[in-house]
């Protein structure tokens, strides 16, 4: 039986999502994907945890898959998107969840924890930490800082991502982008993603890296089918960050950057890509904190280290 559903919300946005009710007294896990992804990138976690009796709710987030793709940037405010996730939970009769985020999904999980802490049994941040509310994001300062500390600009690609033409370029050079953003060797990002202008240069030359060993050819084709034509709308998540559209809302609400629920920070193994201070920062906002690492160094921990991630998450949920 298919678990895929669609629901139209009070905002007039329609979300598609995978929903498996629990088959035991266990709670539901909310899975929030990042970029360039959909709920499909949680396939190994969905199979594992449904077999364990957990419930699953894995939405295709705004701008992705068959979920609505509004043009107005204001639709991508994290406050409104968090409210939309809560509306889906209400529609399915789910009161509390274990929230799990990856990449930009961690930003949305951060705001769910700020605005709706009573709905979260726990928060698990995969590779990307909790983002404090109301903080002004200055891309130039961030890149200058990482260049000083790490020896290269870690987030230079964001300057390309927020351009109007970026989505069309990603669609046009889909295979080139796939082998770069889902690399077989994570250190490909040190030279070809982080530095300013590096990603655009890679794409326009239609360069190809090795196919990732952790994704089958069938899975790659499915991913490309789901993302083709959707990169432009999905990139609005980065425009929202770089253009600080959430700063005013979050500052006015005086959100307290303290996580009251149990928190897991799950990171890759140490590498040249690791931004210093992540674990120290998490200790400042979460008193009930578990810090774990997997044996692989790549960004896509839920794919590259699926068995380790599933075991760590399962132990955290039970603990």
H/E run at residue 178: helix 174-181
Burial letters 2-22, b for 16+ CB under 10 A, else e: eeeeebeeebebebbbbbbeb
For each of the chain's 319 residues, which pLDDT tens digit applies?
Answer: 358 999 999 999 999 999 999 999 999 999 999 999 999 999 999 999 999 999 999 999 999 999 999 999 999 999 999 999 999 999 999 999 999 999 999 999 999 999 999 999 999 999 999 999 999 999 999 999 999 999 999 999 999 999 999 999 999 999 999 999 999 999 999 999 999 999 999 999 999 999 999 999 999 999 999 999 999 999 999 999 999 999 999 999 988 899 999 999 999 999 999 999 999 999 999 999 999 999 999 999 999 999 999 999 999 999 8
β-strand partners of 100: 31, 124
Which of these, 259, 19, 212, lies nearest to 117 by C-alpha position?
259
- Global model pTM greater than 0.95: yes
Last residue of a domain, one of 225, 242, 259: 242
Q: 101 and 49: one domain? A: yes
Query: Three-state SS for 312?
Result: helix
Q: Are 129 and 228 in the same domain?
A: no
Is 237:63 a contact under the CB 8 Å cutoff? yes
The residue out of 194, 212, 242 marking a domain boundary is: 242
Same domain membership, residue 102 and residue 18: yes
Q: The domain containing residue 190 runs over which residues?
A: 139-242
- Specify whether 205 is located in the same domain as 257: no
Final residue of a domain: which of 227, 242, 257?
242
Same domain, residue pair 23 and 81: yes
> Are 76 and 157 found together in one domain?
no
Same domain, 10 and 128: yes
Task: Name the strand (E) or helix (H) holding 32.
Answer: strand 28-32
User: What CATH code is carried by the domain that includes residue 25?
Assistant: 3.40.50.1820
Pairing relation of β-strands 28-32 and 14-20? unpaired
Q: Are residues 42 and 167 in the same domain?
A: no
Q: How many domains does the chain have?
A: 2
């Amino acid at each position: 039986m298919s678990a895929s559903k669609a629901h139209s919300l009070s905002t007039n946005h329609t979300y598609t999502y995978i929903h498996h009710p629990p088959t035991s007294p266990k709670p539901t896990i909310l899975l929030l994907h990042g970029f360039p992804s959909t709920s499909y990138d949680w396939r190994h976690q969905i199979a594992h945890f449904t077999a364990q009796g957990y419930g699953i709710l894995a939405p295709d987030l705004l701008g992705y898959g068959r979920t609505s793709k509004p043009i107005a940037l204001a639709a991508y405010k994290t406050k409104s998107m968090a409210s939309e996730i809560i509306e889906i939970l209400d529609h399915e009769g789910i009161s509390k969840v274990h929230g799990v985020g990856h990449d930009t999904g961690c930003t949305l999980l951060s705001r769910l924890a700020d605005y709706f802490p009573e709905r979260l049994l726990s928060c698990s941040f995969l590779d990307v930490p909790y983002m404090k509310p109301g903080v002004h994001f200055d891309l130039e300062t961030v890149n200058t800082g990482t260049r000083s500390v790490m020896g290269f600009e870690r987030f230079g690609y964001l300057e390309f991502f927020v351009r109007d033409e970026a989505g069309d370029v990603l669609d046009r050079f889909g295979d080139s982008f796939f082998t770069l953003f889902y690399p077989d060797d994570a250190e490909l990002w040190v030279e070809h993603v982080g530095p300013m202008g590096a990603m655009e240069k890679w794409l326009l030359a239609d360069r190809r890296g090795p196919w990732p060993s952790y994704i089958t050819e069938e899975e790659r084709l499915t991913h490309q089918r789901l993302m083709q034509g959707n990169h432009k709308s999905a990139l609005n998540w980065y425009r929202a960050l770089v253009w600080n559209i959430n700063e005013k809302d979050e500052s006015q609400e005086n959100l307290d950057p303290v996580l009251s629920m149990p928190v897991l920070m799950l990171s890759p193994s140490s590498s040249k890509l690791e931004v210093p201070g992540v674990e120290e920062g998490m200790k400042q906002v979460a008193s009930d904190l578990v810090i774990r690492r997997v044996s692989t160094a790549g960004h896509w921990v839920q794919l590259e280290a699926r068995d380790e991630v599933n075991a760590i998450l399962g132990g955290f949920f039970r603990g």
